[in-house]
Structure 1
Amino acid sequence: MANVPTPHIKAKMGEIAEKILMPGDPLRAKFIAENYLSDAVCVNDTRNMLGFTGNYKGSKVTVMGSGMGVSSIGIYSYELFNFYEAETIIRIGTAGALVPQVQPRDVIIAQGACHDTNVDRQYGLPGTYAPIADFGLVKRAYELATEKNIKAHVGNVLTGEVYYDASNSLSAWSKMGVLAVEMEAAALYMNAAAAGKKALCICTVTNNPLTGTEDITPEEREKTLTDMITIALDA
């Protein structure tokens, strides 16, 4: 199709905003578009990875699903940064707490993203790369959380390659002060760095896999997701 740069996103050039919010769930993208954006238009439904572009407080914003894991967000964020000229991608999702001071319903602003993946090997670096967020986005997100009286923590997260971890390695990351575990931030941060763009991951905490704390209720999840979405939109 003319003016469509990739086989995974059917949006034409100009239909994707410079600022993009990426929840993992494409239906979450649809929810955000319907409830937070004005004049939202669906610009992608390839593989049902829904994407919408609309307006928020006078600015053009795209919200699009990323899927789960580094492979999925790696493909989509790479294409958005390099083929659609996106400047900023903010991942919004959920995470499991790894330290006692982080509790369900809190918000995590991921300053850095440890990982147990091989994603950084593609760059041929003579060492270990440390994926970090854009400092301006981190600073702005924390300021917004403070203004909105939202309990937010800034620090390291772990981007895990697997959801069901047979090695039970999370306690080791906890001892290093890693705040929470999720599955996408490191790949997003590396793609942003390689492209010279900006990225941030903001997560709401749903449980603690180390202590067995149960997931928060659907009602609580909606409330905390609302907090996270408003921070990301205003950042």
Structure 2
Amino acid sequence: MSTPHNEAKKGDFAKTVLMPGDPLRAKYLAEHYLENVRQVNGVRGMLGFTGTYKGKEVSIMGSGMGMPSIGIYSYELYTEYDVENIIRIGSAGSIHKDVHIRDVIIAQGASTDSNFAHQYELPGTFSALSSYELLEKAVNCAKAKNVHYHVGNILSSDLFYHADVETNKRWQNMGLLGVEMESYALFCTAAYLGKKALTLLTVSDSLVNDEPDTTAEEREKTFTDMMEIALEIA
């Protein structure tokens, strides 16, 4: 059964889907790591693939930018395609002085400036957390691969260009590790539907340290530590 945003049929997706924001990163990952790979979605250019990694079926699909986009795709994957686990593999800007370019962030939870959770009509503020089961596996894999990683809270923002230039400093004061634009919605959606989600991020630029930014091509093709951790735990 297809949806307005996904032409795949029931059974085309594995139980675990890796979701980079960039569909070209999904394509690169599928072509370089999966065997017997086939494209299962191309609607709106949001490429999705399914294949095997070390004999295990895995799917990879782009999520697009921002919480509305990943909110749509994750909801449909969970509800229409029987997906159980979504692992976001994205990039982030560091807002912590000890988190450097190309470090991996394993998100324990996500704070936000978004109103995404208003739909649940909760009598308070929801703390959006990742799956501890997936998080523990990712940490153990990062240790085994000797990857420089950090575990903690991140910011999922609705705004890339913020009118308040001091906003990141206030989040930095709360000990957050980095800023991106999707994970809060993913974690909320998984929690609401009784599914599992995790976010792995590679630091592409720093808002607090004087370090050179990575290029678009580097973000697409060279964030392999994060990609390989996600594949190993899928």
Q: SS state of the match for residue 119, structure 2?
A: helix
Q: SS state of the match for residue 216, structure 1?
A: coil
Distance 1:10 1:184, change over 3 A: same
Q: Is the 8 A contact 1:204 1:224 kept in 2?
A: no
Alignment of 1:149-164 (within 5 A): 149-164=146-161
**1:87 corresponds to which of 75, 84, 87:** 84
1:110 to 2:99 alignment: no
- Give the equivalent residue in structure 1 for 2:130: 133
- Give the equivalent residue in structure 2 for 1:170: 168
- Give the equivalent residue in structure 1 for 2:195: 197
Q: SS state of the match for residue 13, structure 2?
A: coil
Amino acid of the residue matched to residue 180 of structure 1?
G
1:68 to 2:85 alignment: no
Distance 1:47 1:220, change over 3 A: closer
Distance 1:11 1:222, change over 3 A: closer
- Give the equivalent residue in structure 1 for 2:226: 228
The TM-score with structure 1 as length reference comes to 0.95
User: C-alpha separation between the residues in 2 aligned to 1:219 and 1:118?
Assistant: 32
Question: Shift of residue 59 of structure 1?
Answer: 1.2
RMSD: 1.4
Amino acid of the residue matched to residue 100 of structure 1?
K
Identity, % of aligned pairs? 52
Q: SS state of the match for residue 223, structure 2?
A: helix
Q: Is the 8 A contact 2:97 2:209 kept in 1?
A: no
Q: Is the 8 A contact 2:107 2:198 kept in 1?
A: yes
- Give the equivalent residue in structure 2 for 1:147: 144
**How many residue pairs get matched?**
232
Question: Shift of residue 208 of structure 1?
Answer: 1.1
Residues 93-139 of structure 1 show CA distances to partners (whole Å, capped at 9, x for unaligned) of 10000111101110000000000000000000000000000001111
Alignment of 1:204-223 (within 5 A): 204-211=202-209, 213-216=211-214, 221=219
User: C-alpha separation between the residues in 1 aligned to 2:141 and 2:201?
Assistant: 14
Q: SS state of the match for residue 47, structure 1?
A: helix
Q: Is the 8 A contact 1:105 1:221 kept in 2?
A: no
Amino acid of the residue matched to residue 71 of structure 1?
P
